[in-house]
Amino acid sequence: MQRLLPTLALLAALQAVAAPAPALPAEGSAQLELDISLGHESSSSPLVRVSDSGALVAVPGLSRLAGTVGRASVNASAEGVLTGDLRWTATGVVDARPSRDAPGLGFQLGLADGALRWPLAGGTLGLGPSVLALSVGGRAFRQTAAMHLDWMRAPTEGLVQVWRIDLARHRHAADFSDLDAEVVAPSCNWQWAEPGLGLSKLDLGWGLRSERNRQGLPELSNRGAHLLGELGWDALGTAWSLNLMLQRTVFAAAVSPDLPARRDTLVAVDLSAQWRLAEHLDLRASVGTARNRARPWLYENRHSHAELGLSAHW
């Protein structure tokens, strides 16, 4: 009760500044998207062996995974009115990427996300839980339980701004339980529709991230920041999208005295082209590459992909 009263007082204060309330749809809605694709992926990293004395020794060549990867995903979202201005939203996702050639590239994801939204200070505030399960290489890898708080507003026509903070707890399968961690991740996204210069879309995002290892292993705790950018344009009857991601991660301590504390710099770029086949059906092709430069070098890796797929949406 001692915690509940201040919380209610805070909510009441927030409600007091709710005017002017933005108009929201009077009715609920639902959206469903299905996606299937086939592509090729490769991932490589340095080869390392341990000498008789326990030292790490680089082996010429690379450890490489490559193969054909299929993909199927379902994304369903819905929203409705609870009472007055209070609304609910729900999102569910299942995403599977099996690979017969290289099972290590296999990846599965399941997500359930819910939130309550209400008008606040010219935008809408959302608060809710989410659970996420990841499987990598055919094995359960991570479960994440999180709470998120976000505030969305559309200050001018064609511009949408969202500020968001996630508080998450990662739990891992037994073999990876040393990775259990708590994460605080504030982020922001600004999105412009028809911003000019021939663009159909401009999307900028940035965020911070602090991960604290729950097993007391400082070499696995880290802090990071990222930038996201997307340019969209229409040309030659095709909707093009160019995406860029930059990410910097600094770990709290070295894994051993003879190695520096790990620092990663990740750059990822991809390009997609999309064609409208029918009112609810698109054909999409995409290529992309990501490179992680790291210190020490044993954490460096590269990843690339190319795929062709169909996307249906209602």
Using CB under 8 A as the binding rule, the residues of this chain from 252 to 311 that contact another protein are: 255-256, 262, 264, 266, 268, 270-272, 274, 282, 284, 286, 288, 290, 292, 294, 298-299, 301, 303-305, 307, 309, 311
Cis peptide before 296 (omega within 30 of 0): yes
> Would you say 62 and 45 are in contact if contact means Cβ atoms under 8 Å apart?
yes
Residues written for the chain? 314
Decide if residue 235 touches another protein (CB under 8 A): no
Does 22 engage in binding with another protein (CB under 8 A)?
yes
Sign of torsion, CA 22 25 30 35? negative
Q: Among residues 8 and 242, whose Cβ is nearest to another protein?
A: 242
Binding residues for another protein, rule CB under 8 A, total: 101
- For the bound state, the minimum distance from the C-beta of residue 83 to another protein, rounded and expressed in Å, comes to 17
Contact status: 192 vs another protein (CB under 8 A): no
* E strand or H helix at 7: helix 4-16
Nearest to 102 by CA among 66, 62, 140, 136: 66
Least distance from C-beta 295 to another protein, angstroms? Answer: 13
Under rule CB under 8 A, residue 111 binds another protein: yes
CA 10 to chain centre: 30
**What is the rounded distance in angstroms from the CA atom of residue 270 to the CA atom of residue 291?**
12
Binding another protein by CB under 8 A: which of 143, 200, 238, 243?
A: 243
The residue from 120, 125, 207, 221 that contacts another protein (CB under 8 A) is 207
Binders in 128-157 for another protein, by CB under 8 A: 132, 134, 136-137, 141, 144, 146, 152, 154, 157
Of residues 6 and 157, the one with the C-beta less far from another protein: 157
Beta bridge partners of 228: 205, 245
Binding to another protein by residue 29, rule CB under 8 A? yes
Decide: is 221 part of the binding site for another protein (CB under 8 A).
Answer: no
**Where do the DSSP E strands lie in the chain?**
29-50, 56-83, 86-97, 107-120, 123-136, 139-153, 159-172, 181-196, 199-213, 222-235, 238-251, 263-278, 281-295, 301-313
Residues 28 and 256: their CA atoms lie apart, in Å, by 55
- As measured in angstroms, the least distance from the Cβ of 130 to another protein is 8
Per CB under 8 A, which region of 4-12, 13-21, 75-83 contacts another protein? Answer: 75-83
Q: Could you say which of 143, 176, 180, 212 contacts another protein (CB under 8 A)? A: 176
Separation of CA 62 from chain center: 28
125 touches another protein by CB under 8 A? no
List of residues 6+ apart from 313 with CB closer than 8 A: 31, 32, 33, 34, 280, 282
Residue 15 or 298 having the CB closest to another protein: 298
